[in-house]
Structure 1
Amino acid sequence: MNNTFASRHPRLHWVILLLVVPGVILLLDALICGLLIPLLAPQWQEDAGTVTKILLWGSGAWLVDRGLRIFLWEGAYRRATGTSAPTVLVGAAAAAIYTIAALIVLTEILQLDTGAVLLSTGLVAGVLSVAMQNTITDFFSGVSLSIDRPYQVGDWIEFEDGVLGEVVGITWRSTRIRSWHASLYVVPNKKAANSILHNYDRPTRVYGYWFHVSVVSTVSPLVVRQLLQQAALQCERVRSDPAPMIYFCDPGSVPYKYMVYVHFDNYPWRFAAIDELSVAIHQRLQQAGISPAAVTYELQTRRAEKTTAMMPGITEILRDVSLFAPLTDAEIGILARGLSVREAPVGERIVAEGDEGDSMLVLVSGVVILSRTINGHEREIERLKTGQCFGEMSLLTGEPRYSTARALTNVWLIEIPRTAFAPLLARNEKLQAGLADLASARRKHTEAVQRALFSRGDTLPSDGHAARIKALIREFFGH
C-alpha cells in the first residue's frame, strides 16, 4: 500500500486499514499466546494481553481520527463550505479522540484511579483559565474566526476603529494586517471577532466606487452623460463588466451634479484607477469645450501678481540629463525637435528583452525597473529614476533590447530615435564616450547580478566592454 494509492483512493485506503490493522494486532497476539506465552512467567502472560488491548485502543483512536479527516474535514466540510477545515478545529477534534482513548486505557485496562487525577487536573485548569483568560478568549475567538471565515489571508479589511490593510497572517491568538504604510497591525482575535468588519474582497474582489462630477447647467445632461461614459470606458483599470453607470443625480442644484459609478478589479487598484479615470474625464470635458463648474464663495480679495505654472519643455528636460552635458544648447535644440513626453502607467512593460529597437528612452519622472531572464526567471537588475536613460545599446549598436523595462510608478518618458541622435553622435566623441561608459557600466552591473544568482554572465572580459562598445558604435554609424 504505497503513498500514491493512499493519495488517489483515501477512502478505500482507510477501509483497508480498518480491516487490516486490528487483524494484524490480533494475529500477533494469537501467535504470541500460542508460541511464547507458555515459556514466559505468569506475570508476563498478563502483561502481554494488556499490551494487545492498549495497541487495539491506540490504533482504534488513530483510525477514528484519520476517518474524520477523510470523510468529515476533507469531505463533507469542504463540500458544504467550499474551503478546507480550520487547522485549529481539526487539531481539537484529534486531541479529544486521543484523550478519550487514553482515559479508557487508564481506567478500564490499567485499572488506575483516574478520579483524583481528573479532580486535580480540573483544579489546575480552573486556576489557569482565570490567569490566562485573555489568551483563552483569543484562542476560542481564533477558532470562531476559522470556522466563520469573515476574512482570509490576502483580503483587504477595515475594522470599525479605522484599522485598514491586507491580511498577511492569522494565528490562534491574533490577526496580522499590513497597512498602506507597509507597517504591521497585530489585532487580537477577541477584538477581530467582536468588531464590525468591512471586507473589501468579499463576496468578490471586484470593488465598486462612485463619486460626483459637477458641470455647468448650460450644458445638456445628455451630452455630459455621454462624455462621462466615454471617459470611463476608455480607462483600462475600469471594468466593462459591470458596466460604468452615469446618473444625473441632482437636477435641482446649480451647477448640475452627476454621479459616476464604476468598478475596479480589486480594492488596492483604487488609487491608480481613480487617477486614470479623473484624468480621462478632464480630457473628455476639455476636448468638448466644457470647463469644470465653478463653486461660488463669498471671499475677501486683494490684488496680487499673476503666477503661471508651466511644465518644462523638452529642451529644458534634456539639458538636465547629465549624459547630454557635452552637447551645446544649439545641439540640444536640434535633438529636441519632434520629441514629446509620453506617460506609461504603473505596471506597463515599456520595452521587452529581445525585441528589436532603435531608440533610447530618457526617464523624465517616476521609477522604472530593468530586469533580465536568468535561469528561466525574470530577475530585477536595476532601478532607474528621474534623469536616467535606458535602451542605449539598441540605439548605439542595433542589438535587440538587452533587458525588460517596466513602470514601477506612473512614469513620463522621452523616446529619442536613432534618426534624431545619429548626426549629433557621429561628430561628438565625448557623447560617444559617455554613452559607451554608460552601456559598459550597465553591462558590468548585470553580470554581477547574474554571478550573484549563480548564473553565467557575458563571456566578454569586463574591462573590455567600453572599448568594444565604442568600436560597435563606429561600425554601426559608419565611422
Structure 2
Amino acid sequence: MIVTFAIIAASLALLRFWTLGWFLAVLPDSMAAFAVDSLGILLSLVLSLLADRLFRYFYWNRIFRRKKGRKAPALVRDLTTAIFLAIGLSTGLYLEVGVAASGIAAASGATAVILGFALQTMIQDLFGGLSINLDRSYAIGDWVTIHAADLGAADYGRVEGIAWRTTFIRLNDGRRLIIPNRLVTSNPITNHSRPDGAKRLTVEICLDMRVPSERAVNILMGEAVKAARARGLSQHPAPSVLVDRIDQDSVYYSVRFYFYPDRISPDEAQSIMLRAAQDAIRKTALPTPVQQVELTQPPVTEVPFAQEARQAIRRVPLFVRALSAEQQGDIAARCRLVILPAGNTLIRQNDTGGSMFVILDGAADVTVKGIDGGEQQVNVLALDDIVGEMSLLTGAPRTATVKAATPLRVLEITKEAIEALLPDAPELLVQFSQILAERQVQLAEASNRTVHKKAVEQDLLSKMRDFFVRSFSAGD
C-alpha cells in the first residue's frame, strides 16, 4: 500500500509540475487553471495518505506494538488517518486556491452549531469511543459487567469490538449486545479481566441451625479446596468459608473461591462449587432447614464417633465390595479418630506404615518429590477420599506426602483391624488383591502402559500374605 501511494504521488507530481503544460496548451485558460488546481489538491491528499501509511507502518505497527504489547485501537488509527487527510486537504486548498483553514472554519461555524445540536448523541458516542480507546478502561477480549439503568439488569459478557459509535459485547447466552459508547462512558463498569489474575466468586450454602458450625465449615472447606483444582478455578488464593448470617432456623455459609474469567464463566464456576457442596451434604446427611412442627425434643445432630466411623466405612468402595456389613462394623469398631490442624503432616513419602486413612472432613494436599527435590502437588483429598491402602494391606512405604490443607479429621484404619478378620475370612486377601489390581490396571491404561491384571493380582496377593503371615507369627 505504501509503494502504491508513492507511485501515485510521483505520477501526480510529474503530471502537475512537468508534463501538464503539454496538454494545457490546447485547453482554454479557465479549464487549464481548474485542472492545475485539482491536480495540486489531489497530490496533497495522496501525499497525506502516504504520510498516514508510513505513520501506521513505523509507529502503530512497530513502535506502539513493541511498547504496549498489543495492536493500536482501530478507532485511534482511523482518527489519525482523518487528521492526516484534513491536513492534506487544507494544505492543498491553501497552496492552490489560497483558501486558509481558518477561513473555512469561520465560514462553517454556524453550520457546525446546527449540526452539533442535531447530531448531539452521535457526537457523544464518537467521543465516548475515543475516550475508551485512550484511557483503556477495557479492551477487546475483556470480560465486563455494565451497570446502566437504561439496560435494566447488569449485563455480563466479553468485549468483541469497539467501533466509532458502539461497543459490541457477547453475552453468556450467545447474544450480542450493542451498546452506544455514551452509555459506557457515563455508567459504572466492572472489568473482570483487569488486573490480570483470578477473581473471587461466592456461593451461598444454607444448613440447619443444629449443625455444629465448625463441622459444617470443615466439610465445606474441604470440598471447596478439592473443587478448586477444576479447570478455570484457582487454588491460589485458597478458598474460604465464612458464616454469613443466621436466621430463626438456618445458618448461611459463604463459600468464597477464585476463578479465571477468560477460562470459564461465573455461572460454570459457581456450578462446580455448588455440585461439590451438594455431594458433601448428601454424603454426610447434613440437614437443611425445613419448616416443621416439633412435638418432641429435637434430636442431637452431633454424630457420635462410632456411628460416623460406620458410615464412613460403608462409603469406602474397597470395603463395600470386599466386606459384609458385619465385617464393616468390626473394622469401624477398631478405628480411631485423628485430628490435625492445618499445615500438619498426616503421612510422609517413603515412610513405612501399616494403616490407611479416610477423610471425614477438611482437605489434604497430596505431594510427591520432583526431580529437583521440591514438592509437587498431585492431588487434593476431601470427604470420603482414602489414602494409604497399599501400606495397610502390603506394608509398602508411603508413595506420597499428605498434609492437612485445612483443619482435618480422618479415620485411621490399622493393620490390626484387618488382621482381626482374617482368621474367620482368609479369602479377604484375595478379594482385596483383585480390587487393588483393577485400580492399578486402570491407572496403567490411563498412562498408556500395558500391564496384565492376573500378574498384578498375584503379586499383590503374595505381598499381602507375606505381610500378614509375619504378623501372625509375631503374635504366636
Q: Which has the higher contact order (CA 8 A, sep 6+)?
A: 2
Normalising by structure 1, we get a TM-score of 0.47
Normalising by structure 2, we get a TM-score of 0.47
